[in-house]
Amino acid sequence: MQDYQDIRQDMRATVEARRDLGPEYETALIESFVSRLDATIAHRVRSEMHAAGVPAAKPRKNPNSSIPIALGSMGIGIPLTAIAAQTSGTAGLLLAWGGIVAINFAHALSRWRERD
C-alpha cells in the first residue's frame, strides 16, 4: 500500500513541477517520473517473485557490447596510425593495427563462445 502512496506523491510532485517550470521541462519531468515508476514496478515484481520462490533470472549482457570495442578501436587506431607510420614506418603501422585486430578478434571470439 505504501508504494501506491509514493507513486501518487511522485505524480503530484511531477505535475506541480511542470506547472512551476513550464512546458519546456515537460519531457524531462515525464522521463524522470516514468523511470521512478519503472523502478517501483521492478522492485514489486522482484519481491513477489521472491515470495513465490521463483529463482531470479541471470542478468543478460548488453547485446550491443561490440559497439564500444569498435568505436574504441577506431578512436585509438587513428592516432596510432599516425604515430606508428611516422616513427616506425610500415612495420610499426602493421604492428599497431595487428594489435587492434587481435583485440577485436578476441572480443568476437568471447562473444561467440557466450552464445553457446
pTM of the predicted model, to two decimals? 0.44
62-105: per-residue pLDDT in tens?
666 778 888 888 888 888 888 888 998 889 889 999 998 998 88
14-71: per-residue pLDDT in tens?
888 888 888 888 888 888 888 888 888 888 888 888 888 877 666 666 666 778 888 8
Contact predicate 10/2, CB 8 Å: no
Contact predicate 25/17, CB 8 Å: yes
